[in-house]
Structure 1
Amino acid sequence: MKKVTAAGLTAWAMLAGAPAHADDAYSEMRPYVSGLFSYVAQQDERGDLVGIPDRAFTEGKGLQLSFGKAINRWLGFEVAAFGHNYSRDTGNSSMRDYGGKIDGLFFYSRDPNFSPYFGVGVGGIRTDIKNGGNSSDDPFADVGLGFMKLFEIGGHELGVRGDVRYRRIFFGEDALGGSAQDDVGEAVIKVGIVVPLGARPGRAAPTPADCPDSDGDGVCDAADLCPETPAGTTVDDKGCPVEKSAKGDPNQKFEDVHFAFDKSDLTDYAMALLDNAAKVINGLAKNYPQLKIDVGGHTDWEGTDGYNQALSERRANVVKQYLQRKGVDAARVNTQAYGEARPKATNETDEGRALNRRAEVRAREK
């Protein structure tokens, strides 16, 4: 028990030092249901209490069904029902238990790709021993560690979960026919699946209201180093005029396209930006047959490297496909996925992460 307590304190210390950059999008983590296979490595007291030979019941196997929900970024609760059957090496007696519990889950991280937690639970359990003629209803408490990990499969999310607890059952004086003398301690190991309920909450992408552009040059005022440029002036990504020939400048960068959290769908504002970019590109293509368009997809740092790499690829491809629908020759467009490797702003703030969830579009002469 001392070892378990020490492990709990260690986990609590880890929680207290949780990274400040944990994404607040998970403060409203979706409710979920969980189905788990449960294995009990029990101490032998429950058999001994009714005179069944030592180590008669060697292990318990069963199921647990749970429903859980986050309270905030680091704390969640869960209710569960469970049941186990216990095998016996000799004799014809059998034992089973079933009950319910409520848990507090203290999360170190809300990253859907890996969410470790420290769990504490209390509940009630009924123990039935057949052919021994006894049963008992008793309270218990448990403590341990676990994790959840979500995957996207065919557009749907499904997760895996593991959980290890030390459980202590507190037998009363009349438990199991009055023969109970001690409490029972045992390990409970669970593995299974997690099914989140509802769509993952997204964070809105920047909108025109978030990005005022007083001179209408396509560069937000906050990033515009050359405000009040005349209408129709071709500018660079800092809002300053660029030198161009009568044919137009083939080397230019368009305003970034931004995305909602964990999304690759284009917003109305993003489509308006790409409509304008497509017009410019199609005009340049008439004068520069070798014109090339580079589309780079990017993400913020939330999630694993592999997940973000794939997400940035989807973002780059959706921009390419939209430009193609607007008349841009697909053969001109090159896509590149950068994942989280090239942030444009800090990932420590909501505003910075919103700017990093983007696709960049550049035109260049081959």
Structure 2
Amino acid sequence: MRASSVLALLGAACIFSSSAFAEEYKEMRPYFTESLTYTFGDSERNADDAWGGYIGLGAALTEYWGLEAGLFYQAFPMGGNSDPNRWEEWGVEANALYFYSRKPSFSPYFKFGLGTAWTDLETPAGDADTRQPFYQAGLGFMSAFKYFTLRGDVAYRYTDAKFSGLDDFQEPQLRLGIAIPIGKAEVAEADDKMTAPVTDSDGDGVLDDRDQCPGTPRGVRVDAKGCPIDTDGDGVPDYLDKCPASPAGTPVDSSGCPLATKVDRKFEDVNFGFDRFDLTDYARVTLDKTAGEINAMVQKNPGVRIEVEGHTDSIGTNEYNQALGVRRATAVKDYLIRKGVSGDVITTRSYGETKPIATNDTAKGRLLNRRTEIRATSE
């Protein structure tokens, strides 16, 4: 068969197959394939062109790349000059396929690969058995019909055939055959989509087949899934949320507003030196932590109130210690305000020496009594 005739047959198959199917889904199933092969023999073979066959398995690796491996056989009949040769070849090959498109109607691809051929050579001078590696590159197509896929490709094959004084073989090769996909196709689903137009029942801009929240009221802003936007993530969509900036993780009511929870929390005491109301370094570290916790509590529950109580030991008069307790409570309040706590939620009170928590008969006990207590409460 002349090369121009085979090329014309392959071209006609490509043109005919482009209108075989109208589906737009991507064909990604593994497949079994078998093809008729025609190889234009290199003149170094001193033989006629070869007919043969190929069987293989293929699979998609990604949307664009595929891998195929198979077995082949071909025979070059005696021909050429007065001392013709006869070749029989069988072997294995593996090819990488790069698909321009995965549409079943027409999937063009490039291929490149390698393999090994075992050869039985008959010559007038005697016979020889050899093995040669080869490399190939080409292009082809696949086109799906109802029960099978038509495929064809043309490749240029380079064979390392340096034996018995021969040079390398450089041979064009044509294949035309079928592929049988393995697994269930998506045709039924595609047909349903074509015969049943998809609508947008609630008019939110997301079609019903992708809308996870059908029935959204008109005019409500939605996300890509068709569900109402919930900016603060509290489970209440913005169009119903009366408190749209609730802190993350805050329990809310049906209106999206934080639930009022009762608070009764006592923080670490702040201790002072004898007859002093200035803050020590340790006291500042303690109040930094306390201020952060208070700010978080107030943000979640605006009803939280902070009470700061000043206390003293028993040394000195009652009147002096009452005033000293006021100064200590005020010092703590001023520091908390500097750390971001609103002064509107803080109240101060002095108990002087009236509420000791330890004995005033020892230095350690008096140190524990020289303190400021901080408590958070809410209704």
Larger Rg: 2
TM-score range, shorter chain: 0.3 to 0.5
Could you say which structure has the greater relative contact order, defined with CA pairs below 8 angstroms and 6 or more residues apart? 1
Question: Please, what TM-score do these two structures have when normalized by structure 1?
Answer: 0.44
Question: Please, what TM-score do these two structures have when normalized by structure 2?
Answer: 0.43
